[in-house]
Amino acid sequence: MSETTPKSVDNIITTRDLTKHYVMGAETVKALNGVDVEIERNEYVAIMGPSGSGKSTLMNLIGCLDTPTSGEYVLNGQPVQGLDDDELARIRNREIGFVFQTFNLLPRATALHNVELPLIYAGVSSKERQKRAAGALERVALGDRMDHKPNELSGGQRQRVAIARALVNEPSILLADEPTGNLDSHTSAEIMQVFHDLHGAGQTVIMVTHEYDIAANAGRVITLVDGKISSHDAKLPTEVGSHAF
């Protein structure tokens, strides 16, 4: 793999010919078919594509939740294809901050404890965890909601807790999967503002979405069709919602 080490040291993500095939019975589904992606440090990138285009598969591979059938993936200077489960878990813990469409907060835990979770798996001491989790919650303007449980928070607040959780371990990339899919437009704008501010503070943000007006917040849009990249820098129409996938 040394001959394909990324040329640019500024790339936080480099993939070469990334391929993912699923065998379903006698059929082989080519979910991802030779994808080359380069994302620089501190970029704000949206990944778009119709359903079945492979954007979820790409997100799972970028998020180290899955391993490619073939091809290479270098994350923050480290090749990650072919790592075992525990090494992938470690990378997810240190390098990636996930934000999900459905927030995925532990319902019985307080906001603070939810944000502490990644630090538990990083082996951080309890005192340090609380300090850092509180700091992350303050970054998303929830410093006064730390002891609230998810059902005592609004949708936007829940997603902000999830963002704090994603940020708490200072990951290389913030990886958001349809982060506004369960939110109204007003709250969506609020979350987009949070992403905008984080990006402004130097955070690399990758966001998977199928909504144009959400993708429009990103600096660059990568469009996938049929498991291949159709565009590395989509020209987004200025009028919202004119194009539907």
Partner 1 sequence: MRFWEGIRMALQQIRAQKLKSFFSLLGVIIGITFLIAVITIVEGMNSYVRDDFAGSLFGVNTFTVVQRQQIQTGRADEERRRRQARNPQLDLDDVAVVRAAAPDAKFFAYSADRGLSDVRYGSESRRNIRVIGGSEEYQLVQGWKVEEGRGLTALDEQRALPVAVIGSEIAEKLFPTTSPLGKRIRTGGYRFRVIGVLEKQGGFVGNVRDASILIPFSTYDATLSQRREGIEEINVKVETEAALEPAIARVEEALRRDRGLRPAEENDFWIQTSNDLLSAWNTINTILLAAIPGLVSISLVVGGIVIMNIMLLSVSDRTREIGLRKSLGAKRKDILFQFLTEASTLSIVGSAIGIAIGLGLARLVEELSPLPATVSLPWLLVALTMGLGVGVLSGIYPAYRASKLDPIEALRFE
Token pair for 224: 């996938």
What is the size of the binding site for partner 1 (CB under 8 A)?
Answer: 26
Which residue from 5, 28, 78, 126 is in contact with partner 1, where contact means CB under 8 A? 126
Cα 50 to Cα 48: distance, rounded to the nearest angstrom: 7
Distance of closest approach, residue 10 Cβ to partner 1, in angstroms:
26
Applying the rule CB under 8 A, the residues between 154 and 183 that interact with partner 1 are: 165, 169
For residues 176 and 234, which CB has a smaller minimum distance to partner 1 in the complex?
A: 176
Which residue from 29, 65, 225, 236 is in contact with partner 1, where contact means CB under 8 A? 65
Q: Which stretch binds partner 1 (CB under 8 A): 15-23, 25-33, 89-97, 220-228?
A: 89-97
Which residue from 39, 117, 153, 161 is in contact with partner 1, where contact means CB under 8 A? 117
Beta pairing, strands 11-24 & 27-40? antiparallel
Is residue 60 involved in binding partner 1 (CB under 8 A)?
A: yes
Is residue 99 involved in binding partner 1 (CB under 8 A)?
A: no
For residues 85 and 144, which CB has a smaller minimum distance to partner 1 in the complex?
A: 85
Is residue 21 involved in binding partner 1 (CB under 8 A)?
A: no
Is residue 206 involved in binding partner 1 (CB under 8 A)?
A: no
Dihedral (CA of 114, 116, 122, 123) sign: negative
Q: Which stretch binds partner 1 (CB under 8 A): 45-53, 74-82, 85-93, 219-227?
A: 85-93
Q: Which stretch binds partner 1 (CB under 8 A): 7-15, 97-105, 184-192, 237-245?
A: 97-105
Judged by the rule CB under 8 A, the positions of this chain that interact with partner 1 are 60, 63, 65-66, 85-86, 89-90, 92-94, 98, 100, 104, 106, 108-109, 117-118, 120-123, 126, 165, 169
